[in-house]
Every structure is written in structure tokens, then in C-alpha cells.
Amino acid sequence: MLPCSFLQSNWAVYLGGYNPLPAVFAGMTATMSNVEEIKARLAIEDIVSESGVQLRRAGKNLSGFCPFHSNTRTPSFVVFPESGTWRCFGQCNEGGDVFKYVMKKEGLDFTEALRRLADRAGVQLRPQSPMEQAAKEQHGRLREALDAAVRFYQAQLQTPAGTQVLSYLRGRNLTDETIAAFELGYAPEALEPLAAAIQQAGFTLDEMMEAGLLSQSDDGRRFARFRHRLMFPIRDANGKMAGFGARALRDEATPKYLNSAQGPLFDKGNLLYGMDKARKHIRTQDEAVLVEGYMDVIALHQAGFPNAVSPMGTALGGQQLRTLKRLTTRIVLALDADAAGDKATLRGLEVARKSLDREADPVFDARGLLRHEGRLQADIRVTALPDGKDPDEIVAADPEAWPKLLLAARPIVEHVMYSLAAGKDLQDAKIKRELATQVLPLIADVPSPVERDSYTQKLARLLQVDERSLMAERPARATAPRRRAQPTAPSLPEARPMPSIEDSTVRLESHCMGIIIRQPELLYRVDRSLLESGLPRLSISDFEHSDHQEMFRLSREALDQDVQEPYSYALQNLPMPLLDRAEEILLRTEKLDPEDDKVFEDLLRTFLLLRRRLLRKSNEQMRYLQQTAQQEGDLKASEYQQVMIQNTLTLQRLDKALATSPKRSVPRAL
């Protein structure tokens, strides 16, 4: 059993000695968590109404048209004031609490949504340590220095040297409005004008160094990092300055593209160019398009395709994909012919086999992408641009060609399959074997058995061989995950119970998370039991409350990595504002031993009860929507009826599973 003292000791080490949980462990009575206090102060119906959704009374609930998909006939979006939650019973089929609503509406992550709602509610989040406060203030000054540099580089476009760059941009069909919107600029050769402008704005040369505007030679001489280059300011998803990308203006200059140095603000593995402008469009269009260069992003935004972003010179990483997954499940990689072709694809497969977590070359990393796709439950597809064509040339020649290219995007495995087969003599038995050897390991990486079988069938048809011969060649997938030993720590005196204002759903959810955080491997057993009962495995949608959804997401993620023990990984990656909530639910389940079979049985039964409660709630609302649709002559009434039938069938399976599961045999810490 893992005592909650481990949370305290690990965070103290992780934060450089600062302990964010002193009050509870000193025996003091804890107050309501930040999450609960915000929910208590803010009415979800007010937040939804202020975002532009017109709500009308529907019994004790409120309904309106869903803001996340097109629908102007029957209002399928319902707000439940009593529980502080919402759900779309139409196309989206999503729901959650006020945090989830703001996250989805504004394209924010949990931490960003919590801070925004905390400001709105007048809730003071956990005070920062002196070290954190100093770092925040310093980062703020560095961002201000970068903003001053943006203004300087923009002004340089009006100088004699800069006007040539301006002519180049206009020659690439960029309008003055687009140039201004993306804050493009010119970095002159000399250091003096830049240094004078930034110092006049109130910053020192040392701060310019730290912000990445200067570099230093071995002999200590400082010089401008960017010289005679076209400048692309790079902002994070919230629009805050992070650094620059810079294109050389001389053919002989190397490298052609130069980024800001890796530092506290600029992390190329976490940033996506254009994300600050594309975020809302990705959410509303439910699709993110990744292109290879800064100019590609700018040209597509100008042409009316503002859901395009770009990584910075490397293969797409896990953090970048997680950022996109918060906004959409469909991600399309639009690659040029070289990056999407057979040579790059094969090179990517070979490099990926050596190390999936390498510092990636700018190649198409099929196995790495498949791994991320499975973990994130996303739909990643690839489309190849016409040979020799850039996105700006495509949209300039025919704007309608771009959506068609995206529609033609193929799943990763299919893209690899057909790219490697292009131009090959598929009547040659040796070539067939070579292709099968290259593609079958990739198919084996696919988590879904249905998808694996489908890809195997397509490969058999492509190679014109019997599917059974491919099945015999297909590598076996890894089965049961290895058992990881859990860290232990000495127990501290038992803390007093923490009062909170919760409804029963919150109590059930927090009870489950208190067990899962301690031992994420239990998720494997729960999933297996659910599948044996004909029910889908656990997902974020099994939780209504965003703090529990975030904890569940991290617990799943903890199982998919091999760097740390899952328990440690989940805690160390927990957003800081959720510490108080994690502390509370871990204290409540401290006496439960997650390795006890009775605890597992209780966990499974609780999840079954949560699902049954959610489905009954869904059916109640569906009946109301069906009656409303029938009165208004809306054909969706039959759709609601079908959903209720499916819900009823699932409820029957849930009831059967509950009937065979042991009754609750461990005390539930409430």
C-alpha cells in the first residue's frame, strides 16, 4: 500500500524542496479545494450563456443548441445546474463540468481553464513559492524583451535593406495585412541597432542573451544571433512570445533556418508555429493540418485555411500531438513529395526502430506516430502534396484543391504501404517479401485488432498473396505488461478528514481516482473485466468532472511510458493547481490496499455504477428531446429513440455485470 506521505515527499523533491502540502500534514483542517470553490462560486449556466449559447428551461435543466457542431433544429445541448455539468446528446456526444466546457470552447488545457475561471470567481490559487515567483517574473521580462525585438524587426522592413525583404514577401503573394498579422520582420547584419533598440526599451545585454537574441563566441564576444534573416516570431498557444524562427536571405548562409536556442521559453518539441492563431479554428473545424514550414502556414491562413500549424524542423513529438488532441482527434500531415515518399518513409521506419524517443530527424516517423496515435486515441493521417508544389502554390492555383488533398489523406499504415509499393514490380516474389517485411511490423504496432486485420487484408490485396501467408509472417504483439514495483515511504500521522462540498457522482469518481493514482495497473484488470462483459474499456468519458478526467488521462499516460514508475510519473506530471485535489482524494483512500482483490472488485463495481448512472441520465434527457422533436415535427425524434434503445441494451449488460460482481466489500472513504 502506498501512503499519501509519498505525495508529499515526492513533490517536495520535485519542486526543489518546496512542499505545497504543509497544512494537511501538520494536522490542520484543509479547506475546500480550488476546483470545488470555483464550482461553488460560478454557475455553469452563466458561463455557457455568456459564451453565446441561448438556454431555455427544460424541466429542472436547461437546453440549447450545441456550440460545438452545426444544428439549428432540435436543441441537443443540455446544462444540468444541480450537478454543474453539461452534455451534448447530438453529434458531439460529449460532456463534462464547467472546466471541460471552457477547455473545449476556448481550446485551453486544464491548467489554463482553471486559472481563467479562478480569476473570474475571485479564487486565489495556491501561492507560488519564492523560487517560482522569481522565475515567473524573469520569464515575463524575457517575453517583454522578445516583444520589443518583434517591434524592432518589423520596423526594419522599412529600411533600405528591409524593403528588399518586403518585396520578397509580396512576391510570395503575401498581403501587407498578412505580413502584419504574423509580425514578420527583418534582422539586420549589425548588432548595434538591435542592442540600442532593446536597451532603450529597458532591457540589459544579459537579458538579451537570456532571451536568445544574442549569442556568445568562445572568446566572450557577443553578437546578434539572427543576422540578415527574415524573422518569424513564434508564440505559444496563448499568444505569448517564445522565440523566433529565421530564414537565411543568402543562398550560401547556413543553416537555412535558424531557431532561437533551446531555453526556458523556447522548447521546439512543445511548440507549433501558428498555434496561437489556429487554435480556435482547429476546434471549430475538428481537424488540424500540419505542414512543414512557416511560409506554408502563413499562405494557408491567408487563403482561408486557418487550421494549419507547423512543427519546427523535427518529426512531430508527443507533447505537440497532445496539444492538438485537446482540440481535435483528426490530425492530417500534409507532406511534400520528398518527406512523404518511399525513401523518407523507409528511412523513418529504420531510424524509429533504433529509438522511438530519439532527437528526431525531419523524417516521416511512422512507428513513432503510430505509438502516439494509439496512446492518444487520435486519427492521424498523411497526404502527399503534388511533386514540387508548396501549399501556397496549390491554393494560389486552385483554392478548392487543398480540401480535396486533405480528404485524400490516408491512415499511417496505408500511406506507408502504398508509398513503399509505388513504382515497384509487385509481380516479383522477392519484392513482395521485402514489402511485407517492412510493413508487417508496422501493422503489429497498431493497437486495434480490427484495424490490424483490415490492414493485413489490404496488404494481401496489394501484393496479391493469400492473407494467411501474411498472418503467418506478422510479428506477435506484446501481451501482458510487466509488473512494476511501487515505491514506498514511511507513514506519517493520519490527517484529519477534509471537508468538501460534493455530490455523489463526485464522491464515486474521486474514490476511483484515489485507487487508480496509487496503482494505475489496475486499469488493465478493469478493462479486461469490462471487455469480458461486452462493455468498452474505461475512458475519460467515464468521468464528468475535469479534475478527475485530467488525473485519469495522466494515469493512462503513466502506463504507456517506461521512464518512471507509473505512480511517480502521474504525480510528477500532475498540474500544480490540482495538487490540493489529489491530496484530498489520496488521503481518503490511504487505508485501502490497491493490491487487495476486494479493492479491485469495489473499483470495478463503482465504475459500473457510474456508467449506469450516466446512461440513465442520458435516457431521461433523450425522452425529453424526443418529445420536443415530435412536437416540432423534427425527424431527429427517431434518432433519439435509437439512442435510447442502445442505451437500454448497454444498461442490461451493465446490470448483468453488476449482478455477477461482489457487493462493495471495502469501506468507501467519503
pTM exceeding the 0.85 threshold for the entire prediction: no
Nearest 10 degrees: CA dihedral of 161, 164, 169, 174? 110
Q: What is the pLDDT of residues 388-413, one digit of tens each?
A: 788 888 998 898 999 999 999 999 99
Grid cell of 257 as nine digits: 533556418
Taking residues 329-343, report their average pLDDT: 74
What does the pLDDT read at residue 254?
Answer: 87
Q: Report yes or no on 313 lying in a domain.
A: yes
**395 and 318, same domain (yes or no):** yes
What does the pLDDT read at residue 207?
Answer: 92
**CATH (domain of 309):** 3.40.1360.10
Question: How many domains is the chain built from?
Answer: 5
What does the pLDDT read at residue 162?
Answer: 94
Q: Report yes or no on 194 lying in a domain.
A: yes
**CATH (domain of 454):** 1.20.50
**180 and 276, same domain (yes or no):** no
**622 and 545, same domain (yes or no):** yes
**391 and 461, same domain (yes or no):** no
Q: Report yes or no on 151 lying in a domain.
A: yes
What does the pLDDT read at residue 271?
Answer: 92
**CATH (domain of 524):** 1.10.860
Q: Report yes or no on 128 lying in a domain.
A: no
**316 and 351, same domain (yes or no):** yes
Contact between 286 and 265 (Cβ < 8 Å):
no
Q: What is the pLDDT of residues 290-305, one digit of tens each?
A: 998 899 999 999 999 9
Q: Report yes or no on 453 lying in a domain.
A: yes
What does the pLDDT read at residue 482?
Answer: 43
Assess whether pLDDT exceeds 70 at residue 27: no
**CATH (domain of 237):** 3.90.980.10
Q: Which residues pair with 310 in a beta bridge?
A: 273
**236 and 273, same domain (yes or no):** no
Contact between 518 and 488 (Cβ < 8 Å):
no
Q: Whole-angstrom Cα distance, residue 552 to residue 565? A: 16
**56 and 155, same domain (yes or no):** no
Q: Report yes or no on 247 lying in a domain.
A: yes
Q: Whole-angstrom Cα distance, residue 436 to residue 421? A: 10
Domain with 627 in it: 502-660
**pLDDT band for position 233 (cuts 50, 70, 90):** very high
Q: Report yes or no on 85 lying in a domain.
A: yes
**457 and 555, same domain (yes or no):** no
What does the pLDDT read at residue 590?
Answer: 78
Q: Report yes or no on 115 lying in a domain.
A: yes
Grid cell of 377 as nine digits: 486515441
**403 and 288, same domain (yes or no):** yes
Q: Identify which of 138-142, 212-216, 584-588 has the greatest average pLDDT.
A: 212-216
**175 and 162, same domain (yes or no):** yes
What does the pLDDT read at residue 340?
Answer: 55
**296 and 257, same domain (yes or no):** no
Task: List the one residue out of 630, 631, 632 whose CA is nearest residue 640.
Answer: 630
**408 and 419, same domain (yes or no):** no
Assess whether pLDDT exceeds 50 at residue 181: yes
Contact between 18 and 12 (Cβ < 8 Å):
yes
Domain limit, last residue, from 266, 281, 298: 266
